[in-house]
Structure 1
Amino acid sequence: MAARLLIENARLVLKSGVEEGSVRIEQGRIAEILTSGERPGGVWDETFDARGGYLTPGFIDLHLHGFHEYQLDRGPADLAAVCRLLPRHGVTGFLPTLCPHPGGGDVKLIRQLAVAKTTGAAVLAFHLEGPFRFFPGALPTDAVGKADPERVVSLIEAARPYPMAFSASPDFEGVEPLIRLMRQRGATIFITHTAADVDQTRRAIEAGAQHATHFYDVFYPPAETDKGVRPCGAVEAILADSRTTVDFILDGVHVDPVAVEMALKCLGRDRVCLITDGNVGTGLGKGRFHFGSQEVEFLSAGGPARLTEHSTTPGGLAGSGLTMDQALRNAVSMLKLDLPTAALMVSANPARVMGLDRTKGRLAVGCDADLTLLDDALNVVRTWVRGECAFPNP
C-alpha cells in the first residue's frame, strides 16, 4: 500500500454520527478528514473507493487468549499467526492475554513475546490474567499465586517496550500494595474473578484498579447476612464509581444483554467496552482444543468455550469463540445501539482504558490510520493498520 492514500466515498463513523466523506492518510497517520464534498488539500499516491461502506476506527480487543488453532501462551510463532489473522475481523490492535506460569515461566514467555516479529494487528500491551485473583476460573488451581512484588516487577520489565495489564481480585490477600506498585510502574489493572465486598472494591479502585474485565462473569455477590437484604459487592461498587470502566463478552451466553444495558445506563457509552475473551479454537466452528493443561469444547461457531470432562471443572465457561466484528453486530442487534455507539465500544473506549486514545480508536487528524471498512451488514470488507492494508491479505 502506498504511504499516501485517499479513501473516498465512505460513510465515516464518528462519535457524533455517520457522515459521508473521505480520509487522507500520510505515513501511517490520518492527515485529513473530509466531509460534505470537501476536496482534499494534500497529495496522495493511491485512491481507494470505499463504495459507500462504513469506515470505523480499527477494533481493539483487550482480552484474547487464542485464535484458530493458536494459543498465545505457546510462544512467538502463535503470536505472529494470531496477529496475521485478526485483521479479517477488523482488529487492528489487541492485548495478548496470558495465563500465569509458576516458577517464572510467565516472565520468560513475556520476554520472548516482547521481541517477536509480527505483522497485521498490533500488540498494544500484554495482559496477564492472574495470578493475583481469588477464583481460578478455567485455570488450574496452582495458577493462583501469592502477593509477590518481585514477580510483578519482573513481569513488567520483561514486557518492555510494551506496557503490562494485570487482572486481579480486590479480595485477593495483599492485593492493594501490588495494585499501587503496578500503577507506579505504568501497568493497567483489570478487576476480575471476585466476591469482594463494597469496601474491598473501593479500596482497590482507589489504589488504581479502575477497569473490570468480563464484567459480571465470576463477579459473585457477598454472602447474604441479613435474610431478605440483598448484599452489595464489586458489581455495585464499580457501577457507582465515576472513575471505572468495564468490558463485556457480548455473545448472548456470558452475560444477559439487559445487564449490559444497565451498565450503559450507569456508566454511559464512553465507559463500556466489548471484548472477545477468545480462546484457542475461535473461528474454527465446533471442536475440542487444548488450552494449556485443560481441554475446551465449542458446540457452535461463535459460541462459548466450555471445559470438557478432561478438565478441572467440566462444563464451566472458558472464554468464547466470539470475534470483535460479531461483538459489534451483537451490540447493534441485541442492544439496539446505533453504529457510532457500538463502534465506540470496540475502538475509542478500549483505547482510553489503555491510555492510547490520543493516537488510537478515533477517526481524527493525527491518529494512527488503523481503520476498518464494513458493508451494510457490518461484515468486514477491508482493514488497514497504520495505513497499510492488513486484510484482505496484500
Structure 2
Amino acid sequence: MPRIIKIVNGNIITPYRVINGGTIVLTDGIITAVSEENIDIDAVEIDARGNFVAPGFIDLHVHGGGGFDFMDNTAEAFREIARTHARYGTTAMYPTTLTSEKEDLLTTLSIFEQVKDEEPVGAQLLGMHLEGPYFAIEQRGAQDTRYIRNPDPKEYKEIIKYSSCIKRWSAAPELPGAIEFGRYVKKHGILPAIAHTDAIYEDVELAHENGYTLVTHLYSSMSGVTRRNAFRYAGVIESAFLIDGLDVEIIADGIHLPAALLKLVYKIKGPENIALITDAMRAVGLPEGPSILGNLKNGLEVIIEDGVAKLPDRSAFAGSVATADRLVRNMVQMADVPLIDAVRMMTATPARIMGIDDKKGSLVIGKDADIVIFDSDINIQKTIIKGKIIFDKDTPANNLVGLDSQTVFGN
C-alpha cells in the first residue's frame, strides 16, 4: 500500500505565493497534491497548526556540525553532521572540504561514497563540494597555507577519475592553469566556482566565459576595488554585481555580512541569483570555546565566540556556526527581505544552481517531499525528508529518524 501523508492547516510557501490554511499531500515520498482546500483522502494527517510549510532547505556549502567535520573522514562524522543540520531545517546538503593533502581528500571522497546511499538519518548528501586547494595565498582566509597550490592537471584529473561524487569545485580563476581547470571540471559535470581569489574584472569575465558561474561566499576572501600602478580595477565583488550570469552565495549569519551588505546583495542580485549558505564548521550546536577547523589530526585551531568562528588571534573569521533557519531569519529580520524571497534563496535558487530543481527546491507536484514546518520566527517545528519525519520539536528525544509518520501520529 502507498504511504500517504496529508499536511493540513499550513501556510504553504509555493514558488508563486503563500497558500493560507492549505493542504499538501505526500505519497511514497513525492508531492502529489498542493491545494487551498482540505483534501478528503485516507492518509496519515499532520496538523501544521497555522505554521509555515516550506520546501526543505538546501545548503550548498557546509563543513561540519555537532562536533564533527566532514574531513574527520569517518562515516560517523558524515551521519552526525547531516543529523545536526536537519534539526534546523536542512533537508539536503553538499559536504564541503578544505585545502588538504591529496590523500586526505581522496579519503573524504571515499567516505562519501560509502554513506551516500544509506537511508538518511539527517539531511541528504547530494554530492561533494571541494573548496580548494587552488587558491590565492593572499586571500586564504582560514585555509591552511601548507596545502594551497596552483591547479595541477595531473592531480585534478586523478581526483575526478577517483570519484564521481564531486559536484562543485571552488578555485581562484586568476591562477596559472585555472581557466583550463574550469573548462575541464565543467566538461565532467562539475560546477566551477570562484573563491579565495585576487582576480580583477577581466579575470572574472574570462572565467565566466569558461564555465565559472558561481561566486563562493561573496565578500569573504576575495578582491574588491584595487589599485595597480595608480589605476583602479574592479575586483571579484564588483564583477559579481556586474555580470548577470554569475550567481552568488552569501553567509547570512549577520556577522560575516552585516545588515547593510545583506540588503545590498539582495537589491542588486535578487533572490533568483542568491543562495544562502551556512559555511558551518564542527562547532554548530555546541557551546562557545576552542574548536578545530578541518580534521582533528592536523586541522586549524579556532575559537568560537560572538556567534562565529575566529582565528585564535582574532584577526579574521574562520568559518561560521550558522544554521539554515538562522540564515532565513536574518534575511527577514535584518535585511527586510520578504519571507517568500528568503525561503527561495535557501531552496529554489540553490536547487537551480546545482541543476536539481527538477526534483527539489519547491513545493510542486512531482517533486521530492522534502519539507520544513516553521513558526513565524522561523523556529523549526518539523523536518521531513522524502516523506519521512527526521526531526520533530514536540518529540522528547527530538529524533525520529527511520520512523514512519504513522508511528508518530497514528491514523
Q: TM-score, normalised by structure 2?
A: 0.89
Q: Deviations over 1:40-76 (max 9, x none)?
A: 5xx4431111111100100011111110211110122
Per-residue deviation at 1:38?
A: 5.2
Per-residue deviation at 1:237?
A: 1.7
Q: Which residue of 2 aligns with 1:189?
A: 192
Q: 1:88-167 alignment to 2 at 5 Å?
A: 88-116=87-115, 117=118, 118-134=120-136, 135-160=139-164, 162-167=165-170
Q: Which residue of 2 aligns with 1:281?
A: 283
2:195 maps to amino acid? T
Moved over 4 A (4+): none
Q: Extract unaligned runs of 5+ from structure 2.
A: 393-398, 401-411
- Note if contact 1:114-1:158 (Cα within 8 Å) is conserved in structure 2: no
Q: Which residue of 1 aligns with 2:351?
A: 351
Q: 2:391 matched to 1:391?
A: yes
Q: Which residue of 2 aligns with 1:64?
A: 62
Q: Deviations over 1:241-276 (max 9, x none)?
A: 121110111122212322232222222221011111
Q: 1:1-394 alignment to 2 at 5 Å?
A: 3-20=3-20, 21-35=22-36, 37=37, 39=39, 43-75=41-73, 76-116=75-115, 117=118, 118-134=120-136, 135-160=139-164, 162-221=165-224, 223-225=226-228, 227=230, 230-291=232-293, 292=295, 293-300=299-306, 303-309=307-313, 315-392=315-392, 393-394=399-400
1:15 maps to amino acid? P
- Note if contact 2:226-2:234 (Cα within 8 Å) is conserved in structure 1: no
Per-residue deviation at 1:222?
A: 5.3
Worse-superposed segment, 355-364 or 127-136: 127-136
CA–CA separation in structure 1 for the residues paired with 2:61 and 2:247: 14
Q: Classify 1:32/1:194 alpha carbon distance in 2 versus 1 (closer, same or farther; 3 Å).
A: same
Q: Classify 1:149/1:226 alpha carbon distance in 2 versus 1 (closer, same or farther; 3 Å).
A: closer
Q: Deviations over 1:301-354 (max 9, x none)?
A: xx2200115xxxx53211111111011100000111111000001111111111
Number of corresponding residues: 382
CA–CA separation in structure 1 for the residues paired with 2:380 and 2:60: 19
Secondary structure of 2:9 counterpart: strand
Same amino acid, percent of matched pairs: 29
Q: Deviations over 1:124-179 (max 9, x none)?
A: 1101110111132212212212322232233334433x342111112222100000
1:151 maps to amino acid? E
CA–CA separation in structure 1 for the residues paired with 2:225 and 2:148: 20
Q: Deviations over 1:62-118 (max 9, x none)?
A: 111110211110122100111122111000001111123224321232122221245
Secondary structure of 1:89 counterpart: coil
- Note if contact 2:65-2:280 (Cα within 8 Å) is conserved in structure 1: yes
Worse-superposed segment, 318-327 or 233-242: 233-242
Q: TM-score, normalised by structure 1?
A: 0.92
Q: Extract unaligned runs of 5+ from structure 1.
A: none
- Note if contact 1:136-1:143 (Cα within 8 Å) is conserved in structure 2: no
